[in-house]
């Protein structure tokens, strides 16, 4: 119970790092709430579904928008420790179990977790579709094409259950023919404990009587089943569907969707756009019309098929699975049961006479006469003394100076002026402007003299250019300006043309100058026309609203803007591709990442024309001088090559930051490396560019392959056939916790095979595993979900089985809430009076079933598979049965009673409280903090989860160990980085001893901050796991999307189809971005194990 007395003061922080993950405790409107799930509505705004945790709102469900409310996350360092005084430490164990159950599995966890939580005989082939769908790094999407009788409905139920366990199944829509609505609904409830609201015409009418007039019925219930015919026959249903997003959509009998242009197909296309997971099921998915079939495949993956008339088998395997009775796995298990991006063009601009003088000055006085760097490089100081360059950033200034000139004479002047001020030689008023008089270098020596000469040369270029423009002559002194004008004219930028271009520059001074001189040179003579046609976006000084207004203007075809001048502030996150496919680099960053970021403004999803890139390159004839061909041109060429092969330069770069890339390149030049080698040094593995994807496949035509077994021979079959461990997270040590340099070890462990998994998900069996994402010794990276052992994930549990958990939960709730449940236990059967809030949850079941079984008054449960099967048989075969719905509910892992108890238990505990449990001193000689850490994505779903035991805090040398369910072998038992529940004295298979003596949480309270800090450090290692399992596959997927978007479309009428492709690509990109890890890890103190007194 929340307790306001005692304990540390509670601090809180506002949400700043993304949507809060499930299980986070927040403050809203002076009350406490437990986050059930959350997702991003738009950048910086989140929708949070929560249940009340404090007295006034306890049990109340609410939805918060962060733009309207101001949720605050409570700090784990302020967790208050309280003694668990319940019998056998029941309350503490319930809380731990509830947190374990409430925390979704991480996005990177592909192992099936609920295989023992359903009322069905386990057959691996029926689990295979779920394993295959979950292996998709972006969205679980699959066509299940098994022949009639193999149990596609059961396969769908398994997959939906796994999605729910991952927090990706809150909103589910199942679409079936009207004739099988109740059958499907029945299977989902009786086999998988998944209640679906049936929205047939009667169901819709019932809902409309409950909700306000005009409210969308699809927003009233979270999980529904509906007829495809109802959706296609009413325009209002379709309009409602456009306003709702679904975590998962299932369309049964999907062969009815094949014909493009039909009402059914239109609904399917809409649902495909509005859903995350999409599952299609049909025994006859391919009707012989290949374009029609590939259209169905594209509902699952728009990128899957290049040529709809001639798809390759490899294009279909990842989204389709089909087995027949003759399939080896099926036959064995049923024996007893029946069964293109554009080019990058360099535009070379030979330097004018004045520009050559600048090159000569820089080469002679700043770059050691072109000798390179290293021991031969010298730097000038006042007084003419020569010194060897040091290791500070100042030794790279010559390259900064050079790059400023390669941008423009105005940028050079600004750099020179700043450097002079730093050297105590600030230019006097009047001479500090480029339009001012020459200063001369008389009396100056060394660096200052050279800087003054460069300032005067910049003024000379300025005066000459002004004179040329005033005389209406073409610019010649500023050679890059002349080249830019010519290039813009060549691609068609002029008054009366719709052609648009983006021009990037690194320097503010350059952008300002180009904005002034370009319009008249391109034909816009009046001030008004010039201001409208050539716009400049100063990302550093303009407000967000101004920038967005300009971006919006550039994206609309009806505006007058034709040239957008912008800096690198717009190279990240700004879409400039709607009306533009020409990008010009006025100056080039010395960074592969930054060049790609720039190019990505027009080379992105939604681009309907082949994007073209040009770079203005200033060249020189000065001996041994560095110009744009020395570095910039090589960077551009290298970026183009890397991107064309790998799809994204980040896949090959050493650094992940453009500034670090530039510094690395400058340092390489300073050390005397040739420019080619310096540019190549930006990559981790240049040899990757020579890699070519292999191809292999059966000789049979794909049409024939689709009719037989298909999708079961993907990559990794050889490994999987030999056996591999898919069970959990074994084989790691203290070094892998990543406090210093364990991240590489951690990633190495991803590749380490170990033993195969047990098929029993019970708490007391199976291989050693955690419920989280500690450094694994598994073969996940190589595992093939199509064949071999089923990938499994065994979760941590504090109770031996669901029955023990529910019984203990009811006992605890009866004590703290004064329930009068009239509980009756008969072996593995349980019944009790239905509390009002539980009845509300069960109200989604068919009204006739609720009335028939009087469920609102008393609920009857069984934890026995045999009893559950008998209840189904009675309903099916008993003469007195009124329906196929059983009189006893089988309690699977997802049953609403389990969820109800879990939520009730969690709300019993106050703001940032953790219970202290006493365990045998022989097992735990000093206090052990049980901790949870969660990395999440933008939708608030975990990408990596850690469960830790932290001790040795009093000594100031914290030890962090990953908690596993049980040790599986001697090697694990000896691993110092692992600790089992039994070793901690909380063995789920044994009742805990009652209290040994009085507990004193106050003595443990000072250790809380240290435990939190140690956990945060451990979470740093798990960030690498999240990157390897979640972010890296998503980046690779993004590469494929970019490549697909630029591919040529077959046929001649490509305009509309290119637009459709761009729209689909945008959706895929946005989805991938939402799924990537973001923000800081959530850390939580769960409990403290105190040695017995």
pLDDT at position 648? 52
Give, for 26, the enclosing helix (H) or strand (E).
Answer: strand 25-28
pLDDT per position as a tens digit, 41-88: 888 889 998 877 654 565 567 899 998 888 888 788 989 999 999 998
Question: 526 with 619, same domain?
Answer: yes
Residue at a domain's end among 690, 706, 729: 690
pLDDT at position 1019? 94
Residue at a domain's end among 675, 690, 705: 690
pLDDT per position as a tens digit, 549-569: 787 688 777 789 999 999 887
| More confidently predicted of 637 and 1008 | 1008
| More confidently predicted of 891 and 431 | 891
CATH of the domain at 292: 3.40.50.10810
Hey, is 87 helix, strand or coil? helix
Average pLDDT for residues 1005-1018, to the nearest whole number? 96
The fraction of the chain above a pLDDT of 70, given in percent, is 81
Q: In which residue are the tokens 């992940």 written?
A: 656
Decide if pLDDT at 643 tops 50. Answer: yes
Instruction: For residue 9, tell me if it sits in a domain.
Output: no
pLDDT per position as a tens digit, 369-405: 433 333 333 343 333 333 334 445 678 899 999 999 9
Average pLDDT for residues 229-257, to the nearest whole number? 83
pLDDT at position 235? 67
pLDDT at position 653? 64
Question: 811 with 850, same domain?
Answer: yes
Instruction: For residue 905, tell me if it sits in a domain.
Output: no
pLDDT per position as a tens digit, 958-984: 999 999 987 766 777 778 899 999 999
Question: 141 with 248, same domain?
Answer: yes
What is the separation, in whole angstroms, between the first and last Cα of the chain? 25
Decide if pLDDT at 713 tops 90. Answer: no
* Kind of pairing between the strands at 928-937 and 913-919: unpaired
| More confidently predicted of 754 and 542 | 542
Question: 352 with 323, same domain?
Answer: no
Decide if pLDDT at 35 tops 90. Answer: no
pLDDT at position 786? 60
Question: 543 with 684, same domain?
Answer: yes
Instruction: For residue 1015, tell me if it sits in a domain.
Output: no
Average pLDDT for residues 180-194, to the nearest whole number? 90
Question: 371 with 295, same domain?
Answer: no
Question: 174 with 263, same domain?
Answer: yes
Q: Binning pLDDT at 50, 70 and 90, where does residue 180 land?
A: confident
Among candidate residues 447, 458, 397, 388, the one with its CA nearest the CA of residue 423: 447
Decide if pLDDT at 685 tops 90. Answer: no
pLDDT at position 331? 78
pLDDT at position 325? 72
Backbone φ/ψ region at 1004: left (φ over 0), alpha (ψ -120 to 50), beta: alpha
pLDDT per position as a tens digit, 323-362: 877 778 887 887 766 546 788 899 999 999 999 999 999 9
Give the DSSP letter string of 593-611: HHHHHHHTTTSSTT--S--
- Ranked by mean pLDDT, the top range of 226-230, 750-754, 868-872 is 868-872
Average pLDDT for residues 500-512, to the nearest whole number? 94
Question: 362 with 314, same domain?
Answer: no
Question: 460 with 352, same domain?
Answer: yes
Cα distance between residue 915 and residue 909, in whole Å: 9
pLDDT at position 515? 94
Q: In which residue are the tokens 């922080």 written?
A: 13
Instruction: For residue 706, tell me if it sits in a domain.
Output: no
Question: 418 with 453, same domain?
Answer: yes
**928-937: strand order across its sheet:** 80-83, 913-919, 1077-1091, 928-937, 942-951, 959-964, 978-980
- Ranked by mean pLDDT, the top range of 104-108, 179-183, 507-511, 603-607 is 507-511
Instruction: For residue 821, tell me if it sits in a domain.
Output: yes
Residue at a domain's end among 690, 705, 736: 690
The residue segments making up the domain with residue 666 are 345-380+402-426+449-690
**889-890: strand order across its sheet:** 824-826, 829-833, 858-862, 889-890
Decide if pLDDT at 11 tops 70. Answer: no
pLDDT per position as a tens digit, 99-144: 999 888 998 899 999 999 999 988 899 999 999 999 988 899 999 9
CATH of the domain at 420: 3.40.50.300
Domain count, the chain: 3
Decide if pLDDT at 439 tops 90. Answer: no
Listed range (213-217, 895-899, 998-1002) with the worst mean pLDDT: 213-217
* Widest Cα–Cα separation across the chain: 114
Q: Binning pLDDT at 50, 70 and 90, where does residue 735 land?
A: very low
Average pLDDT for residues 665-681, to the nearest whole number? 84
CB burial readout 740-772, b (16+ within 10 A) else e? eebbebbbebbebbbbbbebebbbbebbbbbbb
Instruction: For residue 415, tell me if it sits in a domain.
Output: yes
Question: 157 with 193, same domain?
Answer: yes
Listed range (61-75, 727-741, 796-810) with the worst mean pLDDT: 727-741
Among candidate residues 991, 950, 895, 939, the one with its CA nearest the CA of residue 119: 895
**534-537: strand order across its sheet:** 344-350, 612-619, 582-585, 501-504, 563-566, 534-537
Output the average pLDDT for the chain. 80
Decide if pLDDT at 526 tops 80. Answer: yes
Among candidate residues 232, 222, 223, 277, the one with its CA nearest the CA of residue 257: 232
- How deeply is 1037 buried, as exposed, middle or buried, from its count of CB atoms within 10 A (0-12, 13-18, 19+)? buried
Residue 683 tokens, joined: 């990559």
pLDDT at position 751? 31
Cα distance between residue 848 and residue 835, in whole Å: 20
Crossing angle between the packed helical segments 896-906 and 802-817, to the nearest 10 degrees: 50
Question: 636 with 562, same domain?
Answer: yes
Instruction: For residue 765, tell me if it sits in a domain.
Output: no
Instruction: For residue 1027, tell me if it sits in a domain.
Output: no
């Amino acid at each position: 119970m929340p307790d306001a007395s005692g304990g540390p003061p509670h601090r809180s922080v506002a949400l700043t790092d993304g949507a809060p993950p499930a299980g986070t405790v927040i403050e809203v409107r002076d009350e406490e709430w437990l986050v059930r799930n959350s997702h991003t509505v738009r950048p910086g705004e989140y929708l949070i579904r929560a249940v009340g945790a404090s007295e006034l709102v306890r049990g109340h469900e609410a939805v918060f928008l962060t733009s309207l409310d101001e949720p605050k996350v409570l700090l784990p360092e302020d967790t208050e420790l309280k003694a668990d005084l319940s019998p056998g430490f029941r309350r503490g164990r319930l809380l731990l179990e509830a947190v374990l159950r409430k925390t979704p599995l991480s996005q990177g966890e592909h192992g099936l977790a609920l295989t023992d939580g359903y009322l069905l005989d386990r057959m691996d082939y029926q689990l295979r579709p779920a394993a295959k769908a979950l292996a998709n790094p972006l969205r679980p999407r699959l066509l299940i094409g098994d022949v009639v009788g193999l149990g596609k409905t059961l396969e769908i139920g398994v997959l939906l259950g796994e999605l729910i366990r991952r927090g990706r199944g809150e909103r589910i829509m199942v679409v079936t023919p009207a004739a099988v609505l109740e059958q499907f609904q029945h299977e989902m409830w009786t086999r998988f404990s998944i209640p679906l609201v049936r929205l047939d015409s009667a169901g819709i009418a019932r809902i409309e009587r409950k909700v306000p007039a005009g409210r969308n019925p699809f927003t009233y219930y979270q999980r529904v089943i509906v007829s495809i015919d109802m959706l296609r026959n009413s325009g209002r249903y379709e309009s409602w569907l456009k306003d709702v997003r679904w975590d998962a959509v299932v369309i049964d009998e999907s062969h009815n969707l094949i014909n493009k242009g039909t009402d059914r197909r239109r609904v399917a296309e809409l649902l495909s756009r509005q859903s995350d997971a999409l599952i299609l099921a049909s025994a006859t998915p391919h009707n012989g019309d290949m374009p029609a079939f590939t259209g169905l495949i594209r509902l699952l993956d728009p990128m899957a098929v290049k040529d709809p008339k001639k798809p390759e088998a490899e294009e279909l395997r990842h989204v389709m699975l089909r087995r027949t009775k003759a399939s080896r796995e099926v036959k064995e298990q049923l024996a007893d049961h029946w069964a293109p991006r554009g080019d990058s063009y360099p535009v070379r601009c030979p330097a004018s006479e004045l520009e050559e003088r600048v090159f000569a000055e820089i080469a002679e006085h700043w770059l050691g006469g072109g000798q390179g760097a290293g021991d031969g490089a010298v730097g000038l100081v006042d007084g003419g003394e020569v010194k060897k360059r040091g290791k500070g950033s100042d030794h790279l200034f010559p390259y900064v100076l050079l790059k400023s000139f390669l941008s423009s004479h105005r940028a050079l002047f600004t750099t020179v002026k700043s450097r002079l001020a730093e050297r105590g030689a600030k230019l006097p008023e009047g001479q500090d402007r480029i339009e001012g008089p020459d200063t001369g270098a008389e009396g100056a020596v060394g660096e200052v003299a050279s800087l003054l000469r460069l300032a005067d040369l910049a003024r000379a270029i300025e005066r000459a250019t002004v004179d040329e423009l005033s005389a209406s002559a073409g610019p010649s002194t500023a050679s890059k300006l002349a080249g830019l004008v010519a290039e813009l004219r060549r691609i068609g930028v002029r008054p009366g043309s719709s052609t648009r271009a983006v021009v990037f520059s690194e320097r503010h001074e350059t952008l300002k100058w180009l904005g002034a001189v370009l319009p008249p040179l391109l034909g816009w003579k009046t001030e008004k026309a010039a201001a409208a046609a050539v716009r400049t976006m100063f990302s550093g000084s303009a407000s967000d609203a101004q920038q967005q207004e300009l971006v919006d203007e550039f994206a609309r075809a009806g505006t007058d803007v034709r040239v957008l001048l912008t800096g690198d502030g717009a190279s990240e996150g700004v879409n400039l591709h709607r009306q533009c496919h020409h990008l010009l680099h006025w100056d080039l960053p010395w960074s592969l990442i930054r060049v790609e970021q720039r190019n990505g403004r027009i080379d992105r999803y939604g681009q309907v024309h082949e994007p073209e890139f040009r770079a203005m390159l200033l060249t020189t004839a000065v001996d041994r001088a560095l110009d744009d061909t020395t570095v910039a041109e090589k960077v551009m060429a290298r970026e183009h090559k890397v991107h064309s092969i790998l799809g994204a330069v980040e896949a090959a770069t050493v650094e992940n930051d453009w500034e670090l890339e530039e510094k690395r390149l400058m340092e390489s030049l300073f050390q005397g490396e040739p420019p080619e080698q310096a540019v190549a040094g930006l990559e981790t593995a240049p040899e990757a560019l020579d890699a070519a994807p292999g191809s292999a496949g059966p000789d049979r035509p794909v049409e024939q392959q689709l009719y037989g077994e298909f999708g079961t021979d993907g990559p990794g079959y050889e490994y999987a056939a030999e056996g591999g461990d898919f069970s959990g997270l074994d084989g790691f040590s203290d070094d892998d916790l990543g406090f210093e340099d364990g991240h590489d070890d951690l990633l190495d462990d991803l590749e380490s095979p170990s033993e195969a998994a047990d098929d029993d998900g019970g708490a007391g069996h199976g291989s050693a595993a955690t419920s989280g994402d500690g450094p694994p010794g598994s073969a996940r990276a190589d595992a093939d979900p199509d064949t071999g052992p089923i990938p499994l994930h065994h979760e941590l549990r504090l109770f031996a089985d669901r029955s023990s958990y529910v019984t203990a939960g009811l006992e605890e709730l009866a004590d703290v809430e004064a329930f009068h449940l009239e509980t009756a236990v008969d072996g593995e059967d349980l019944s009790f009076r239905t509390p009002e809030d539980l009845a509300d949850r069960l109200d989604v079941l068919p009204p006739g079933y609720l009335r028939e079984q009087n469920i609102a008054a008393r609920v009857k449960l069984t934890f026995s598979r045999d009893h559950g099967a008998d209840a189904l048989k009675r309903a099916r075969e008993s003469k007195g049965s009124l329906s196929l719905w059983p009189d006893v509910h089988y309690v699977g892992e997802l049953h609403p009673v389990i969820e109800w108890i879990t939520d009730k238990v969690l709300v019993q505990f106050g703001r940032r409280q953790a219970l202290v449990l006493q365990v045998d001193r022989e097992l735990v000689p000093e206090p052990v903090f049980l901790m949870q850490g969660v990395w999440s994505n933008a939708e608030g779903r975990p990408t990596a989860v850690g469960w830790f035991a932290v001790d040795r805090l009093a000594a100031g040398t914290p030890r962090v160990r990953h908690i596993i369910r049980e040790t599986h072998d001697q090697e694990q038992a000896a691993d110092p980085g692992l600790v089992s529940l039994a070793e901690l004295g909380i063995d789920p298979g044994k009742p805990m001893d009652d209290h040994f003596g009085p507990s004193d949480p106050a003595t443990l309270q000072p250790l809380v901050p240290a435990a939190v800090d140690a956990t945060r450090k451990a979470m740093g290692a798990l960030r690498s796991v999240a990157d390897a399992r979640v972010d890296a596959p998503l980046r690779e997927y993004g590469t494929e999307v970019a490549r697909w978007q630029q591919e040529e479309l077959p046929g001649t009428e490509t305009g509309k189809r290119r637009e459709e492709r761009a729209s689909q690509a945008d959706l895929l990109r946005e989805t991938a971005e939402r799924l990537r890890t973001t923000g800081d890890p959530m850390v939580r103190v769960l409990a403290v194990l105190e040695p017995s007194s």
